[in-house]
Amino acid sequence: MLSLLVLGKVFTDVYTVMFGLSLMDLLFSTGTVYSGFYGLIVVLYGNGNNYARPNECLSSALQLVLWIISDFGQFLFVLLLAFDRLFNSIDTTFHEKFQKYVMNGVSIIFVMVVSIGTFVPFCNYSIEMKANQTLAIYSGCYEKDVFGIANYSILWNIRFYIACSTTVILGLASITYAVRSMIPILNYANTAFDNDTVEITIIAVIRTISQMLISSMFTILISHSETSDNLYRLCQTILIIILQPFLYYIVLLKFKKAFTQTFEKYIQNPRRTWQSADDPPEEYSGDINSIYGSWYSMSGNITGEAGIPTVNDFHNAASVSFYGRDNSIVIEESIMIEEEKF
């Protein structure tokens, strides 16, 4: 949510895709929070009947729907980001056209539609198994049980190969950047090597390598199980919810400026400039028995024109109006005592 608020202020060109990526991250975060509450409900109110039908999980375990859609959306947006870096490294003129016609709000809608459309075939297994009255799965609703073993394997292959493909594309872009920076004749009138380009490339590389490492670890090294699925989502949570906003703030100068503008009123000097009635009396260096009195007496009571008249000036008409009845002067007992002291 923080990234969405800030990136919304720089909603243009490649930052549009980064906004869409943050939108997918928000879907994933929502699914993660929902899964926590769903797990508590299953544990506390299962009453020993911890079984459900696969089609029932599609409507109750909404974290699966949000997670799968966000998975596809994240991979597609990172893939767009990788192609953006590749075109930027090859030819700046073509890259400007690519950003104008592709890296815009339409691409966000397109990726959303494709992500939802790609998720639909994975629901066929649950719908087909609805007729099988003998089939029941654990009410925790794990991906393999809800979508079937075949779809589960396809899902992991998509995660792995898209992450690897994105890494290869960014590798080509990095090599092209390096070659062009070393050969002056290839740096003809382009802006491919400004600070903004370096910052965005760093973000794309870190995000892609992180996705590839996570996908590779849980595809090749760790066998698929309910525990590995939970660990996979835990690693995604650390990367997406916790580290990503900090990475944007540290690396992206535009993000940092937009963040400052967005929360400027909260990070300014919070020193209070107004006075409360509960505040202690201010230091007063003048004569407390002046013609106007003072706001505070030595005992802390309010004195002067807007309060109790001072001893020497109680006859002043300006003060009498506050304590007189029928134009007569009323002298408080405490004042008389105080006068006797003088």
User: What are the φ/ψ torsions at residue 51 (nearest 5 degrees)?
Assistant: -130, 150
Please count the other Cβ atoms lying within 10 Å of the Cβ belonging to residue 66.
22
* Residue 113: predicted pLDDT: 92
**Which residue ranges of the chain lie beneath pLDDT 70?**
1-11, 46-49, 186-195, 263-342
Where are the extended beta strands (E) located within 26-80? 51-52
Nearest 5°: CA angle at 192, between 188 and 194?
115
Closest CA to 264 of 6, 55, 3, 34: 6
Instruction: Output the DSSP codes for 282-302.
Output: PP--S-TTSTT--SB-TTS-B
Are 69 and 152 contacting, i.e. CB atoms less than 8 angstroms apart?
A: no
Tell me, rounded to whole angstroms, the distance of Cα 137 from its chain centroid: 35
Closest CA to 27 of 59, 75, 71: 71
Residue 322 structure tokens: 């506050």
For the chain, which domains are there? 2-267 (1.20.1070.10), 278-342 (no CATH)
- Over residues 127-142, the pLDDT tens digits come to 887 777 777 788 778 8
Query: Which residue do the tokens 């890494």 mark?
Result: 167
- Between CA 243 and CA 237 the distance in angstroms is 9
